[in-house]
Chains A and B, each alone.
Chain A
Amino acid sequence: MKRIPKKFWEVVKARYERMPENLKLVIGGYGSLSKKEILEHLERKDEVGKFLVRMQLEFFKVLREEAESYEKAFNNKA
């Protein structure tokens, strides 16, 4: 994805706003990040911010695939 839609940035930011304060994230190569630093990267839409969006999108993709497989299994049974 070359250009990340504004909506995605907002969704990811909204999620990280709910992150517990004591939790820290290590992204190899980018070091250890607090909640405040994560939100700053997402605000700046920089390289780290883009990585966080990619990680979130991968998660959504897996959820969608899972939902589709359940739907398929359900339809086969019906």
Chain B
Amino acid sequence: MRKLLITRPDHDDATFIISKWSQPIIDEAKKRGVKVLDLRGGKASREKFFQYLGNHNPKFLILNGHGEHNLIYGHKNEVLLKSEDGRRLREKIIYSIACDAARTLGARVVQNGAECFIGYYNKFVFFYDANKISRPLEDEKLKSFFRPTNMIPIGIVKKNLVKDAVEKARKEFGKEILKWRCSSDLAAPFMIQALLWDKISLRLIGNPNSRFE
């Protein structure tokens, strides 16, 4: 059985939004018979993460939360993963929205035997409507950021090659940029700038032909 592990800290606005926008990924995975190990809120700790990794051996890891070039944080910014942990992620496919993580951590885990790491080389940025913070899935601005980036884990769940999933996400970012360029919304110039930043920052490190099987 295919297994996916996802960490979903939700202790501040940013992690809460990312956690909510992970739900479509989880739904798609369950629909396809993938066993989802959901480390949500306080369960997104380093201890639980390695415990689940050891007990269930999931192939695909989705690591949400804040990050730095060599770290990914969990709930309340407890360190979840360090670049030194690379050896414990052998043969995994890893997708992370955590900022800067593709810079050092991504390269290190792949050097140590992970299949591939997909993430952001710079800080992942997004705009949202403060009036919709309690209903992030209904926020059109958030949709413009999370629909493209979610195409990566959803594509992987659908057994696409990771390079194809990443390419689809890049194209989707492009479509969103174009959409906002044609918009007269006062938010448009800010949206375009941030979407462009994320699109440029997206990286695939490791085997582009990896597949979640």
Contact = CB atoms under 8 A, between A and B. Distances in A.
B200 interface: yes
Contacts of A18: 186, 189
Chain A residues touching B, range: 20 to 34
B114 to A, nearest CB: 21
Interface in A28-44: 28-32, 34
A20 B187 contact: yes
Contact of B123 (A20, A29, A58, A62): A29
Contacts of B12: 31-32
Nearest to B200: A58
Interface residues of B, number: 32
- SS class, residues of chain B in contact with chain A: mixed
B127 A24 contact: yes
Contacts of B128: 23-24, 26
Interface stretch (B30-38, B44-52, B191-199): B191-199
Interface of B: 12-14, 17, 66-68, 97-100, 120, 123-131, 141, 186-187, 189-190, 192-194, 196-197, 200
Interface of A: 15, 18-20, 22-32, 34, 51, 55-56, 58-59, 62
